[in-house]
Amino acid sequence: MPQVRCALCRRSSLGESVLSTTRDADRVDAELQKAAATPLRETSESERRGFYREHGVLLCDGTSLESVAEAVGTPAYLYSVGEIQAQYARLSAALSGVPHRIHYSVKANSNLAILGILRALGSGVDIVSGGEMYRAQSAGFKGRDIVFSGVGKTEREMTEALTLGVLMINVESEEELARWDEVAGRMGRKAAVALRVNPEVMVDTPHPYTRTGVKGMKFGIPFDETLVVARRALGMKNISLIGLDMHVGSQISQFEPYEIGLGRLLQLKNEITEAGATELEYLDIGGGLAVSYDEEHPVDVEGFGAVVERLVGPTGLKVIVEPGRYLVGNAGVLLTRVLYRKRSGGKQFVIVDAGMNDLIRPSHYNAYHRIEAVRPSGGKITADIVGPVCESGDFLGLHRDVDDAKPGDLIAVRSAGAYGFVMASNYNSRPRISEVLIERGRFGVVTEREQYSDLVRKERLEPEWKKVT
């Protein structure tokens, strides 16, 4: 399917639903029009954050992308510190009406420097593996900063989590609950758990793979079985049931699924309390807030906060929210350089040095990323932007109206801060690329580009043979 956005799609309004009023939409439109009417060159240096243009050239946090490319090479991921900080501040302010803590979803971008920025802002983390637990510790997070999610936790991971003393474990099934009781009992500890409930909410996301709260998914305990599992948890001597959890999906652009899911979660909370629960303290409402990948209006985070406050505020429960993409998605670009131009079958191709192994989202999810020249030539073409990987599915964008970029020109693939580098691979024996942090006119490499030697560092030409006894 060609990655083409129609005019209607470009102007869709993220966050609009039965909960959004015309007044809300008018307010957002007014803010966007005001921002658009303000020339970037008139903005003070302290307010220049994220990716923007001056004299037509793309910059980030006061730093020339051309200078970064000259220093570190291409392809490379570049991240704006200022944009991450601004997104965090806005979400935290939107939730100020309820006791809450933001727990960043590490799987979106697990770079240590990104984790360090968020820890300094007061964030906790949501992890889904022992490796992410290790990363979180390496970035300075303590046990009480960590919520442990994931549908297939191993005994090793359980032992590590209990030893570390994580804040809460989101349990995904009755069998997993029994395993936690067993492991905690052997260790002489109590496991603090929340039950992850599948709210069974039908939600519209850009791709079926990003739906997690629909009936029949692998995630969560089926809604109509949760009370039975809760009663069992209350009878386990090594389990403390302290919360309920849900996640409706990723890249959610409407509030209605959250409202329905929260309503069901709160209904369960009342039933579980009546069944004898006395330690319920947390309501983990997941993440999934949408970011804009083209020209969509940004999600109305303040409206989201108002919904949460209205529904959860009277309960006295502490809210945990687990944003990933929302905090880092628009804070990153994949910077790549044009290698060749080519015509074939009546089509034009722009061949760049970044491929599907560097950013798999376009190929895997049919994801749309805005693609633009760092220094536009003034001309336009319609072309497929493809990489050097030996696969027909190796593309960053298909049938796009893009700048007439020539070999040597720099191209920015926008909104690549989430699910970019973390999903990269060494396919075609291509070394993984560098990651660069940019802040207030300075930049620094936070992941070094791999060398050819790194590709075989863990391999052996001949195995160490062992005899079976």
pTM of the entire structure?
Answer: 0.87
- Give the tens place of pLDDT for each residue, 333-381: 999 999 999 999 999 999 999 999 999 999 998 899 999 999 999 999 9
User: What was the pLDDT predicted at 330?
Assistant: 95
pLDDT per residue over 261-286, tens digit each?
A: 888 889 999 999 999 999 999 999 98
Residues 384-443: tens digit of each pLDDT = 999 999 999 999 999 999 999 999 999 999 999 999 999 999 999 999 999 999 999 999
* Domain boundaries along the sequence of the chain: 48-78+329-455, 150-321
Which residue among 6, 9, 60, 390 is the active-site one?
390
Q: Which CATH architecture has domain 150-321?
A: Alpha-Beta Barrel (3.20)
* pLDDT score of 19 more than 70: no
Mean pLDDT estimate for the chain:
87
Active-site residue, 6 included? no
Q: Which class in CATH covers the domain with range 48-78+329-455?
A: mainly beta
- Res. 46 pLDDT band, cuts 50 70 90: very low
Contact 268, 227 (CB under 8 A): yes
pLDDT category, 293, cuts 50, 70, 90? confident
Taking only the tens place, the pLDDT of each residue in 136-195 is 999 999 999 999 999 999 999 999 999 999 999 999 999 999 999 999 999 999 999 999
